[in-house]
Structure 1
């Protein structure tokens, strides 16, 4: 533990805990018996590497660490992991009794931690001080509303997609046990905004950040698979091949597995 450092959430000078950017529970379920996992960085060569990766750093005091865990993370991780609460209907899966605010802020907490992280692997996730401060404020206050008619989810629209391989070459269990770490893509035009994404438990999470000039458009525009403030969440099922970055990542894993089996 590190002492005499300021917590990045409450700014108090406290003994800091080693905070995970992506919740530790995901890494525990992904690692094999040797305590290792395959890491894939999408883009470029999309090369798969065996690693002990479980990235964490001194970011938060114990109180703030526990706060994020109890208020957001506990619900967020269980929602995607508990298969008993997932119903499949046609081309979508359905979550009943969905708690939008907890889940939305849980996902925001992951993006925020990556953005303030000092780890080199997250240096490409940089939202800037103003946005970091806004996200931190919403997390601390446990709210999404920014002003009377503006909410955080007007600017950060989060989508959730269940990923499958419709060719049948990769089974669902293999997809659930693969994690794609946080990455981003810029739109072709400035108005297109920026897309941040990662994948865990077979679900692709996408954050679309844009600053539309028209406030009405900001409030009313909806993205594909966007999670909404309703008590039932419909998550579309999409083919792995529809997302080039994911397809390249899984292709890299398959090549690595073939090479490993030939030894």
Structure 2
């Protein structure tokens, strides 16, 4: 299937590793000019070198702290200065912060919302005018399955992620008239640096495949998901293959979620 992405320009936040990196790589494989940002410049440079080596794509590296509005603006402005337009924004930057209600301080609430909610808001704020100029675009907000059915001890992440779902739906209503589609993906248990550290610490004698199956026994598909599997869905949503998909949230969780 031709995703009609050749020559498009994408900004991916939190792209130095994990889902963000894999998404940038998959987009580059489809002929997209990618702009990657994160706080760690060293990790970004390694990621960019890898993407260039594997795809030959032109990659722009912009170190940025998405919690700062000026940094969000700089990422978008530098992307446009380099490539002349923006067609795709993947709001992926985020961390896991899960505690009981009484453990969450005011500072932790604010930091989580600044990163996961307002980071996406500010990046979109500066990207949307350029998408309108280009005749449309696609925004994909990366959230989590617990946003739909928050368990105990999931704060503040479950709340900020739920806000991201509301943001996605509201933006899709406002921006559809400009042919700008806004969707979300809800991530379940996906291979990450944190999970790999847990694997090497808890079960160093097991292969990744065996560890994945053991941990994933409660998941209908019976394993931990791969980052590439998440990146593939994000790339689809960003593409013209999903041209009539907007305002929705897709679970990438192996069937473990309790809500559609």
Asked whether the two chains share a fold, i.e. TM above 0.5, the reply is: no
> Higher strand share goes to which structure?
1
- TM (normalized to structure 2)? 0.29
- TM (normalized to structure 1)? 0.29
Work out which of the two has the higher radius of gyration on C-alpha atoms and give 1 or 2: 1
